[in-house]
Structure 1
Amino acid sequence: MARTRAWPRGLRATLSWLHLWVGLVAGTVFALIGLSGSVLVFHDDLLQWQHPELTGHELRADGDVLARILREWEPRGLGSVHLPEPDGVPTWQGYFGDGRRGYFDPATGELLLMRSADDDWLMWLHDFHIELLGGDAGKQVLGVVGWIAVGLLLTGLYLWWPKAGRWLAQLKMHRGPPVRRWLSWHRSSGVLLLPLLLLATLTGVGMIYHAGFRAVLTGTFGGDAPPAAPQRAAPEARATDWPRVLALATTALPDARLTRTGAPDPGSDVIAFRARSHGEWHPNGRSLVYIDRAGTRVLAAHDATGQRLGARMTEAIYPLHIGSVGGAVYKWATALAGLLPAFLLVTGFLFWRRRRGKR
């Protein structure tokens, strides 16, 4: 009987020790990632504030302009082009194979801005947030830190959990003495905002281990992989009629908005588009449209809103993480969640320091 009673106390002490020391070490990385995420929630707003030449353009997607951009910039590494957005940057956005991003006038196709992580602080912050500036290796390290962060949040909840009837007392934030103040601020803020922070952390981990999360979600709730692109060889020397292609693509899914495209592969007659159907959370959409180079035939169309629940849950991971769901309220809530790891780190450190000084 004595052993049975001693075990929970030993378990609690062990978890408390791990929570403290792992939190002080891995929590530092977690805090920096959270702070960078809070800034990146407002990426487009900050970008347009920093570069006013990207603002004030009439929203338009002209096939001739798109053709000019691809003709001039594909030989220089342009991979895909994002169409002007009604709720984002109103210019063409080009994504290059080396990580650069180009912004082109929607009316003329002239280059307005070229950015890279080497000369743009927002892109540098983005690379830090998603891969710790370390490529695939950094991304894997970040994945491990993400799982550790989930463990810290759950052990913190366990250590906080009060006896029956003491819920409100356990949530109270005290002004003093210092040891009690920092502990109560640390615990109460962590518990009150736990759902929001846990969601942000799990969706971040889900983006790193996307294939595994998709397999679990689709296996549990149903869902298939998106349809493969049709295979169709282009007639020799056939040019792409971008005005006709763009016009036809907009009709393939009447309730969708085209978001991204690129030049066809050499020898292929297939032009691929990403699209966002009405009701999709993903800002770029997961719907697909395929058109032939001549712009005379819709080869295939996939409406992502018609997928089974598991597939839709998988595609909700990214928009939930970046705060693009639910308008301004959720956007600011996501930014708040990014600030919380730093607050927990500071209050946890101050509690440890004060308690240590009393010994």
Structure 2
Amino acid sequence: MDMPATAPATKAPPKRRVRAVLSWLHLWTGLTAGLVFALASLAGAVLVFHVDLLKLQHPQLAQHAPVADGRVLAQLIERWGPEGMRSLDLPRDELPVWQAYFEDGHRQYFAPEDGALLLYRSHHDDVLLWLHEWHVDLLGGKTGRDVWGVIGWISLAMILIGLYLWWPKSGRYLAQLKMHAGPPVRRWLTWHRSAGVILLPLLLLATVTGVGMVYSKGFQKALTGAFGGKNVKAPELPASTTAIDWTRAIAQARVAIPQARLARVSVPDPDEGAVSFRLQAHGEWHPVGRSTVVLSREGRVVQAFDATTHQLGMRMSQAFYPLHVGAVGGTAMKWITAFIGLLPMFLLATGFLFWRRRRGKR
């Protein structure tokens, strides 16, 4: 008797094979690169409240009047400039002390009344600065930032793949968004995909702005090429050793751009001719501002640039940082930004639990 012929194995349709490959990529990139992304995002959620936590940890920083005295500034620059101090944030309502940035990455805080040292911080001895270094460059300097950029691109691709895998047939969008309480496999799957889709705009905002900061030059070139804008170069002034009257310099910088807040001063080299300030003009999102005022050592204003006059492309590129850190929209946006920082860990946990449960049923 003839044996019945064995039916040839049928190949899965191309669309199903593509979906299977994308599912595999989504799973394993989520469990590897997604873990680093989630941990860095957790640090970002904390850093949204960096200044608030700093004042809670060191209440002496908040016990001052936010006065920027030129005489105190002159003393600070004379004393600490030779030791690597490169810039200072002026006292403001949010943090009413001088905040100094040094070449090796540490920060120091000085009383606005007399310049007394109030606090020394570095990522070696301060949790918040350690989290900052982890969030910005994975504690690896330029190499870490390059790695972070690659992880950012991978995470962006993972988000888009997840959207593709979720996308339902026409008319089933609401059903596909429903979160189920059980059984466990279905619960973790629906919580994972529904949260990812519902909060997709926020997740994309944080990821795209983060990648945009890592590759700021490339993004800026693309945006200015498409929508216009260019960097404004500071004028080159001849070298000079003329003593700087910092009281006059502060006064001149304040009035150079109407309604702008004087935010940061760069410490000039001993023979550098230019004195540079950063200001936050009215309507600027960046917490320190991208507006600039340059003076000569004699106190003459040689450049005053209001960043709000930039063309659209440059304004878009300069919006990445304030959007990423929740500096736009007040307290509500800060909490939303912190919530976004928690989302990758939630997606990682629910994705892992779904994978483990499904694997256990095999």
Report TM bin, short chain: over 0.9
Residue aligning to 1:232: 237
Correspondence list, 1:78-97, <5 A: 78-86=85-93, 88-97=94-103
Residue aligning to 1:133: 139
* Letter of the structure 2 residue corresponding to residue 343 of structure 1: F
Query: Is 2:160 the counterpart of 1:154?
Result: yes
Residue aligning to 2:255: 251
Correspondence list, 1:166-177, <5 A: 166-177=172-183
Q: 2:297 aligns with which of 269, 293, 300?
A: 293
Deviation at 1:268, TM superposition (A): 2.7
Unaligned stretches of 5+ residues in structure 1 = none
Deviation at 1:262, TM superposition (A): 2.4
Residue aligning to 2:5: none
Residue aligning to 2:312: 309
Taking every aligned residue pair, what percent have the same amino acid on both sides?
59
Residues 78-106 of structure 1: CA deviation (Å, up to 9, x unaligned): 111111122x2111000000111000001
Query: Is 2:23 the counterpart of 1:13?
Result: no
* Letter of the structure 2 residue corresponding to residue 253 of structure 1: I
C-alpha contact (below 8 Å) 2:290/2:307 kept by paired residues: yes
Classify the secondary structure of the residue corresponding to 1:32.
Answer: helix
C-alpha contact (below 8 Å) 1:30/1:145 kept by paired residues: yes
Query: Is 2:264 the counterpart of 1:260?
Result: yes
Deviation at 1:252, TM superposition (A): 0.4
Deviation at 1:282, TM superposition (A): 0.5
Correspondence list, 1:83-122, <5 A: 83-86=90-93, 88-122=94-128
Q: 1:281 aligns with which of 277, 281, 285?
A: 285
* Letter of the structure 1 residue corresponding to residue 66 of structure 2: L
Q: How many residues align?
A: 353
Deviation at 1:234, TM superposition (A): 4.7
Residues 35-75 of structure 1: CA deviation (Å, up to 9, x unaligned): 00000000000000000010121111110111111111111
Residues 164-213 of structure 1: CA deviation (Å, up to 9, x unaligned): 11111111110000000000000000001110011101101111000000
Classify the secondary structure of the residue corresponding to 1:112.
Answer: strand
Deviation at 1:4, TM superposition (A): 11
Query: Is 2:65 the counterpart of 1:58?
Result: yes
Deviation at 1:263, TM superposition (A): 2.8
Q: 1:328 aligns with which of 331, 334, 351?
A: 331
* Letter of the structure 2 residue corresponding to residue 283 of structure 1: P
Deviation at 1:266, TM superposition (A): 3.4
Q: Distance in 2 between matches of 1:204 and 1:314?
A: 12
Using the size of structure 1 for normalisation, the TM-score is 0.96
Classify the secondary structure of the residue corresponding to 1:301.
Answer: strand
Q: Aligned Cα RMSD in Å?
A: 1.3
Deviation at 1:161, TM superposition (A): 0.6
Query: Is 2:72 the counterpart of 1:68?
Result: no
Residue aligning to 1:191: 197
